[in-house]
Structure 1
């Protein structure tokens, strides 16, 4: 089949996927498989070749990242039920102060909390951000909403073990340690610069509280009590019961016996997050050992991402068992398994589409047109992912599809695959809008109008999308 025919059929497949999702509301999982089937059959792979490519692509990506996604989501589910996020935000507020809390919160969410499923992380962190907003003055809601949107979306695609980051690394065969290191190089300046720039614009008259905030916003005096009630040095629910679940002295009103009856207290934050930190450090150590050509078998085993995240999960389970009890840990794990199911399937069918695209030879064709320089393909990847996100409204789907389209080009250009993965992630952030679940959650949970959410979320994350290409293009000069 001619190159032109393959390009046309690929374009038809991508457009069909978008139409099926947006116009006919077909589940993205089904739409991606249907698009892959069309492309394989139309490009001449035949029935057997098409099915083989789809199933092999699904299996390959699951072998690469399936356990990692599951381990990360399960870890996040336990941390959620341990109130780790609420306590961390309150600690940040104490340490950095109200003026710096938006940037600090955005950085923390984008770099440190990506093991927690996005919607869960948003539902937990948004009320905390809304409670802090009145302390920041007239533009508090705008600043917190922008920082939260940028931190959430950037973390998905740039930070391991974010779902988008894992999928991109798996599709492009990028070692997770490598992706972790370069992803941090991109995400940290991106969040800081984008949040600072948006704060400047919003506080110079662009944000209109009377138009951009809902009239039933939380009163300015309410959050003080809410946040005080969540202070980490206060006893949590577990501190008011004994190990058998019998109400303690606080329930009976006998305050003189409160201290002896408090057999459990909330753990220190460093204890809560220690397993996750250890896991990420092990993955990073593996990347450093690979660069240094240090072939220690113990380091190779422990730094393998599957083993590292397994260690983190086991450690988090033990902490959860100590402070919540085994039944609650099992409940948290069950919730995490339900959350991870759709993520795993979506990542898998993204791998199926990428495998079909590779099988029809699209990589060789695109390589002929993108070999003029090292930065041009990265801009093309960004643009494709951005267009797909505008059409589909899903960061993960657009990043996976764009990476699958351009992944076969990397070998012919001698371009490091991590750059393609990061560029696809950056493009997939462009213009989070009304088709995104994140958009509406940010609107309702932070008390914004649709107009206001378009400013903080749509424009804010789009600014981050563009800014992220700066460090990515700089990396392309040295990799």
Structure 2
């Protein structure tokens, strides 16, 4: 059955409101709040119950397929690094180099650089232990440090190849990858800075933190060296980067094939886990059993929430709100604002930046002449505008939102106040930068 755009927007708002009210006021676990929102929206678009459940299963399964192993192994890596004192060693080195006052900026820059080759989800998981350790040592709020790291990763993820959204859009629209990378990095920098500034402002003071996510690291007899502490973090990042930047075409022979295999995020994180065992001289069977068991239990809780977030995104995507928006808006001389608005609606509705920009690119492609963006520069600006739209607004239907929340220990109120608003400001800042470029190029 066809529904109007205002009605679909109302359903979107109602679904988000249910999640916020159930998690903040009623203290219902996020998994069940997301489940209730899925059923509400599914009923609202008059899906049979069985169809709603099938769509939820698909969304849940897609998230498990893409993030399941990564989160399980990333959680294990974080637990091991914290237990062995590796995060303490790295935090001490960073603070000695930069000082406490620059710690949030240091995390933003770290996220920006690390985010060049790897997904923001993977990058946040790998660096979350270091981030929390630095928050404890500096006394700066977890919200400020976590969102500084998250927005640094997010800025580059939405705009620059080899990330799949930007890559697919560039291919569909016909934009040179090299030019997009160069200009995309320049456009992403102000977004990173704005995200950092908002994190420092909104994250001040006492911010809600879930107690079970902020336990102190277990004491150890001897801390590892800086090299041993860094290897489990940076070797996976390097392996993933090699796959992203050095594997060309379909070559599968020699060291290229090996780099391709080791650069898979799951395998790279497994390598990091193995290296983390070298951060402590002697291990007992009891220690290993306890740590690995706790890692699996912790990952299971995280995956349930992230998976249900994927289910909610799938339900919202089934409403086809993006198509309705494209049909309802008069194009005229909107230029870069139309691809931005379309991608923003898709992102806010279904949660995935990658899906939003890929879907928007297919809808925008035939409209380029009408938008006045059918030349080389116009196409570049179009992809960047869609990248800006894919930043906003990250909320409860975004898997990355839950990765940040669960690995930092931030509650729903803090995430919406600090991170979601940061994603909105980043998107608007990026749009402003693209508009300025349209006047210069």
Task: State the TM-score bracket (shorter-chain normalisation).
Answer: 0.5 to 0.7
Give yes or no for the alignment of 1:148 onto 2:145: yes
Name the residue aligned to 2:134.
125
2-structure distance, mates of 1:326, 1:191: 44
- 2:221 is matched with which residue: 216, 238, 242? 238
Name the residue aligned to 1:134.
none
Unaligned runs of 5+ in 1: 131-140, 203-211, 215-235, 240-265, 389-397, 430-435, 444-452
- 2:320 is matched with which residue: 348, 361, 367? 361
Contact preservation (8 Å) 2:357, 2:386:
yes
Q: 1:14 to 1:419 in 2, by over 3 A?
A: same
Q: Deviations over 1:169-206 (max 9, x none)?
A: 8999989xx9xx9998777654456657998xx8xxxx
Name the residue aligned to 2:16.
18
Q: Deviations over 1:417-455 (max 9, x none)?
A: 9986775445338xxxxxx989x9899xxxxxxxxx99x
Name the residue aligned to 1:302.
262
Alpha-carbon offset, residue 345 of structure 1: 1.5
State the secondary structure of the residue aligned to 2:124: coil
Give yes or no for the alignment of 1:427 onto 2:427: no
State the secondary structure of the residue aligned to 1:322: coil
Name the residue aligned to 1:271.
228
Structure 2 matches for 1:182-261, cutoff 5 A?
Answer: 190-192=191-193, 195=196, 237-239=220-222
1-structure distance, mates of 2:50, 2:224: 56
Contact preservation (8 Å) 1:13, 1:36:
no
Contact preservation (8 Å) 2:187, 2:434:
no
2-structure distance, mates of 1:419, 1:308: 32
Alpha-carbon offset, residue 18 of structure 1: 3.0
Q: 1:184 to 1:59 in 2, by over 3 A?
A: farther
2-structure distance, mates of 1:348, 1:474: 34
Q: 1:346 to 1:419 in 2, by over 3 A?
A: farther
Q: Deviations over 1:141-173 (max 9, x none)?
A: 7xx88862542442574588xxx9xxxx89999
Name the residue aligned to 2:371.
none
Alpha-carbon offset, residue 65 of structure 1: 1.4
Alpha-carbon offset, residue 62 of structure 1: 0.8
2-structure distance, mates of 1:419, 1:336: 40
Unaligned runs of 5+ in 2: 115-122, 170-176, 207-218, 366-378, 396-403
Aligned residues: 369
Contact preservation (8 Å) 1:14, 1:35:
no
Contact preservation (8 Å) 1:77, 1:116:
no
- TM-score, structure 1 length as denominator? 0.59
Contact preservation (8 Å) 2:59, 2:311:
yes
Q: 1:470 to 1:40 in 2, by over 3 A?
A: same
Name the residue aligned to 1:81.
83
Q: 1:377 to 1:114 in 2, by over 3 A?
A: same
Contact preservation (8 Å) 2:3, 2:45:
no
Give yes or no for the alignment of 1:411 onto 2:374: no
